[in-house]
Structure 1
């Protein structure tokens, strides 16, 4: 039997081996492309990390980190509460007439400042003067009738003692006298009413303040039912601000008020940068708003320069207390992390260590440290993100910033709005050294 492979089978085997070889070549090509793509992605990632990750600022030989330090000081810290308030006048009065009549005179100018009792307007008083004269004439007539009745009563009393007249006639005369006495009393009341109406014809200011725009002109007939009135007077000096505080702050405020302290209040502009006026807390509302959990407070301001205007929106700072002789550092020195609140303390050998601290209130970029620091300690306020415990540091600059001094209450001494507490001051990174 012939052992040779048939030609058709040989061709089939050859085709299968060629297809297998081509498939292996394609797999190797695919692997090479994938390896190249992974290598390119890794190179791009490494380049991104090198360009975006900040390199610690060290000297060419891996020396100390450049930082800015500040020295802890002993000073005072104001314990203040911030709130939003609305300027509210102590008295806003709409001037209306109490009688009807023609308005014959306007005695004020719009925007004028008037004092209590100043004349504002006049109403035609002639009808009421005539009514006064009529009431006075009725009084004279009724007084004459009363006098005549009294004389007759005296005669009847003498005759009655001698039983010359009936007792009924005497009683009738006595009743007539009482009737005329009542008529005279009514006449006197009519006279007083007419005089009061004449007084109402001269409308005067019930409070001191500034008048607004007049609502009616001369010549109009005015009545007590006019809803707009004649003009509105608003008291501007003194003036108050109503603001709200959370109920959690109420115990501290009430405690200070019960001790007899006068709590100073400062009003700032809408943006909080311009101080408008200084005053004192007057009172606290008698209940808490359950919908917001806040309580209303009223502060009074002299407003001699009229910087506060009714319905004006202001920012309010209430001085609750003053912490005296506490350790004070810039707020930028305080770090927060796993140990809680801490600072980087610079030692005598220019190395830093982590020092946990217990902080208190802050004011104007400063913060009180209750425990953990002493006066004279140096702490890092810029460059702390590059530090580790035990790292060497070199000082770019050193700040000694005392705590803000507090003046006597009730009026704070500051004349400009306190700036918000600053964070670490960004400094441009030094150029990298070319040495590796």
Structure 2
């Protein structure tokens, strides 16, 4: 089983800037509106002085009432104009202006405009209550009580807490040992089965691990490192666990082990047995060293994997030999017992 190593920094999946849609003085700040505090979707974070917007609602309500009265009067005039024409029009077709149809449509339009202004005034009044757009956490608070804010003022930087993401750069050599389904334009965007990933970070003297999965690849290689990043995702990273394990923090550096392919018909060799980066020392039947060139399929910090260069039953020398040459006589031991009985000059 191949495990591919990488490293990255924890980032939120969703990060936003909280900005008011109305202007005014901040009159109330709730406890959730502090750096590091958690909040739920729809929870009120702070309130802007609503006085001006309450007055605006009252003013527009009076305008709506006036427009309703004007419409009622115009409807009465239109009915009267139609009766007058029926009595005096001698059966002719009446013009719209005579029947006051344009005046009636104008009154209706004025009422609709006044009602729209009332809706906007009430909406502005509601917007003095700053609500959380999603369940998240305050990353950086930038205003406090008593401060005047206008449209476009940054109130805070916030991020969601449903997922944490880590971008893990990998080389082409590493990518070939991971099963990442390729996505194509126009195909059904079904979520494929993606590799598991274990995230590791040392906090003080404790080694902590979190389980996640790869959810996607980035769309382009990094032009400087020539690496492609996989994006790992950890679900609900801020929930309390039975072990009271620390939560992932935004900006935290972590190491990652990505579950790769299962290799078959291969040899797993300790890295200490590799000489000159690509040679093995084989002990032949004459108790002599045989230096053999190999091609390494995979390597990590402790082992290398090869597919060719060894035969089943051969003895591999894992002891470093400073001056190893082909044909060097040796005395090979396995767990302290000789494996080949032959006279030699060097014990390994």
TM-score, length of structure 1 as denominator length: 0.63
Task: Kindly state the Cα deviation for residue 188 of structure 1 after the two structures are TM-superposed.
Answer: 0.8
Task: Kindly state the Cα deviation for residue 117 of structure 1 after the two structures are TM-superposed.
Answer: 1.0
Question: Compared with structure 1, are the counterparts of its residues 104 and 288 closer, same or farther at alpha carbon in structure 2 (3 Å cutoff)?
Answer: same
Match of 2:333 among 388, 395, 407: 395
Gaps of 5+ in 2: 184-191, 239-244, 338-346
Of the structure 1 ranges 168-177 and 142-151, higher mean CA displacement relative to structure 2 is found in: 168-177
Q: Cα deviations across residues 24-82 of structure 1 (Å, max 9, x unaligned)?
A: xxxxxxxxxxxxxxxxxxxxxxxxxxxxxxxxxxxxxxxxxxxxxxxxxxxx4x152x4
Matches within 5 A, 1:123-138: 123-138=48-63
Question: Compared with structure 1, are the counterparts of its residues 385 and 374 closer, same or farther at alpha carbon in structure 2 (3 Å cutoff)?
Answer: same
**Pair member with larger Rg:** 1
Question: Compared with structure 1, are the counterparts of its residues 188 and 376 closer, same or farther at alpha carbon in structure 2 (3 Å cutoff)?
Answer: farther
Match of 2:215 among 268, 282, 285: 282
Gaps of 5+ in 1: 1-75, 400-429, 431-436
Tell me whether 1:365 sits opposite 2:302 in the alignment: yes
Matches within 5 A, 1:282-321: 282-302=215-235, 303-304=237-238, 307-321=247-261
Task: Kindly state the Cα deviation for residue 204 of structure 1 after the two structures are TM-superposed.
Answer: 0.9
CA distance in structure 2 between the aligned counterparts of 1:175 and 1:276, rounded to whole angstroms:
74
Question: Compared with structure 1, are the counterparts of its residues 398 and 332 closer, same or farther at alpha carbon in structure 2 (3 Å cutoff)?
Answer: farther
- SS at 1:371 equivalent: coil
Matches within 5 A, 1:13-412: 76=1, 78=2, 80=4, 82-109=5-32, 110=34, 111-164=36-89, 167=94, 170-171=97-98, 173-226=100-153, 229-246=154-171, 248-249=172-173, 252=176, 256-258=180-182, 260-269=192-201, 274=207, 276-302=209-235, 303-304=237-238, 307-324=247-264, 326-336=266-276, 341-345=279-283, 347=285, 352-374=289-311, 377-385=314-322, 389=327, 391-395=329-333, 397=335
- SS at 1:86 equivalent: strand
Q: Cα deviations across residues 165-219 of structure 1 (Å, max 9, x unaligned)?
A: 9945844621111111011101111111111112111111112222245322222
CA distance in structure 2 between the aligned counterparts of 1:308 and 1:232, rounded to whole angstroms:
18
- SS at 1:184 equivalent: helix
Task: Kindly state the Cα deviation for residue 255 of structure 1 after the two structures are TM-superposed.
Answer: 6.1
Question: Compared with structure 1, are the counterparts of its residues 345 and 359 closer, same or farther at alpha carbon in structure 2 (3 Å cutoff)?
Answer: farther
Question: Compared with structure 1, are the counterparts of its residues 312 and 188 closer, same or farther at alpha carbon in structure 2 (3 Å cutoff)?
Answer: same
Question: How many residues of Structure 1 are paired with residues of Structure 2 in the alignment?
Answer: 317
Question: Compared with structure 1, are the counterparts of its residues 383 and 122 closer, same or farther at alpha carbon in structure 2 (3 Å cutoff)?
Answer: closer
